[in-house]
């Protein structure tokens, strides 16, 4: 498994990147210099204020940008072939990203007005050849409102049938539904209602996560 190397003189960036790498469960190591880079370091993250020393060094404007931009390098590729943004419409929209069949992130936004901002940040921070949006066909008023905010983003958008993406209801959340919407087109068998599944392990059971992808990349 490859690791992220952190090399920066920017204390705030250092604090933020460590905090976020732990949240994303991505292995990392702090570097004191660029003269002796461990062999398992696939990419180095630095602040945009730092000097650039290495061809696989990302000088990021913030920690989220740096992590997203580093993901293909961690998975032994220069860029992702395809990034799909899944949207679960509603008053608290779910947003998920699937990059080359890997679920990289899934989260809920507190208001519709933030969807465009989140989508544009995803567009600008990932490395890819193609990007598209899939939005579920449920909750028509909120769906149509979200679509109106995205028409000029330059990203292809498709409305998809979201049946079964919220099953079983006892573990339903908007982020999970968005992840399923982004993954539509592959084989998906919704869990049985009587099957005991927790929110903790549903992502690992249904999707190829970053951690699983990294374990299989080296």
Q: What single string gives the DSSP state of each residue in 75-124?
A: TT-SSEEEEEEEEE-SSS-EEEEEETTEEEEEEE-S-GGGHHHHHHHHHH
Q: Where are the beta strands (DSSP E) in the chain?
A: 3-6, 28-30, 41-47, 57-60, 80-88, 94-99, 102-108, 128-136, 156-160, 208-209
Whether 174 is in a domain gets the answer yes
Do 14 and 121 lie in a common domain? no
- Please state, in angstroms and as integers, the Cα–Cα distance from residue 153 to each residue in 84, 132, 157, 189, following that order: 14, 10, 10, 32
Domain co-membership, 56 together with 88: no
Domain's final residue, options 74, 102, 120: 74
What confidence score (pLDDT) does residue 95 get? 98
pLDDT at 193 over 50: no
Does one domain contain both 186 and 118? yes
68 and 98 in a single domain? The answer is no
- The confidence score (pLDDT) of residue 166 equals 73
- Sequence-distant (6+) residues with CB within 8 A of 8 are 14, 17, 45, 46, 47, 49, 50
Which of 15, 50, 74 is the endpoint of a domain? 74
Question: Any idea of the CA torsion for 53, 35, 9, 11, to the nearest 10 degrees?
Answer: 120
Distance (Å, whole) CA 62 – CA 105? 17
Please indicate, yes or no, whether residues 87 and 177 belong to a single structural domain of this protein: yes
Looking at the whole model, is its pTM more than 0.75?
Answer: yes
Residue 131 included in any domain: yes
| Residue 162 within a domain | yes
Does residue 25 lie in a domain region? yes
In a domain, 8, yes or no: yes
Q: Which two tokens stand for residue 140?
A: 């028509």
- Do 56 and 96 lie in one domain? The reply is no
Residues 6+ apart with CB under 8 A from 117: none
CB 183 within 8 A of CB 103: yes
How large is the average pLDDT for residues 166-193?
71
Enclosing domain of residue 31? 3-74
**Among 73-77, 178-182, 201-205, which stretch is predicted with the lowest mean pLDDT?**
201-205
- Give the pLDDT score at 168: 58
C-beta neighbour count of 158 within 10 angstroms: 10
Task: Point out the domain boundary residue: 17, 47, 74.
Answer: 74
Q: Are residues 125 and 160 in the same domain?
A: yes
The pLDDT of 167-194, averaged and rounded, is 70
The separation between CA 26 and the C-alpha centre of its own chain, rounded to angstroms, equals 12
pLDDT tens-digit profile of 79-105?
999 999 999 999 999 999 999 999 999
**Does 57 lie in the same domain as 88?**
no
**How many percent of the chain have pLDDT more than 90?**
77
Note whether residue 218 is domain-resident.
no
95 and 199, same structural domain?
yes
Number of structural domains, the chain?
Answer: 2
């Amino acid at each position: 498994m490859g690791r992220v190397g952190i090399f920066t003189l920017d204390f705030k960036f250092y604090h933020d990147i460590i905090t976020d790498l732990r949240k994303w469960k991505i292995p990392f190591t702090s570097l004191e210099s660029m003269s002796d880079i461990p062999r398992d370091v696939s990419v180095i993250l630095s602040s945009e204020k730092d000097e650039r020393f290495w061809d696989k060094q990302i000088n990021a404007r913030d920690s989220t940008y740096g992590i997203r931009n580093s993901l293909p390098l961690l998975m032994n590729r220069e860029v992702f072939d395809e990034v799909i943004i899944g949207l679960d419409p509603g008053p608290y929209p779910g947003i998920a990203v699937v990059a080359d069949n890997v679920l990289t992130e899934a989260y809920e936004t507190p208001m519709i007005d933030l969807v465009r901002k989140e989508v544009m940040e995803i567009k600008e921070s990932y490395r890819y050849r193609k990007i598209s949006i899939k939005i579920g066909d449920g909750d028509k008023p909120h769906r149509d409102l979200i679509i109106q905010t995205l028409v000029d983003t330059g990203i292809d958008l498709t409305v998809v049938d979201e049946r079964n993406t919220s099953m079983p209801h006892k573990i339903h959340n908007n982020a999970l539904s968005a992840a399923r919407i982004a993954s539509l087109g592959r084989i998906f068998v919704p869990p049985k209602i009587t099957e005991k599944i927790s929110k903790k392990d549903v992502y690992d059971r249904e999707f190829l996560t970053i951690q699983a992808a990294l374990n299989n990349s080296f």
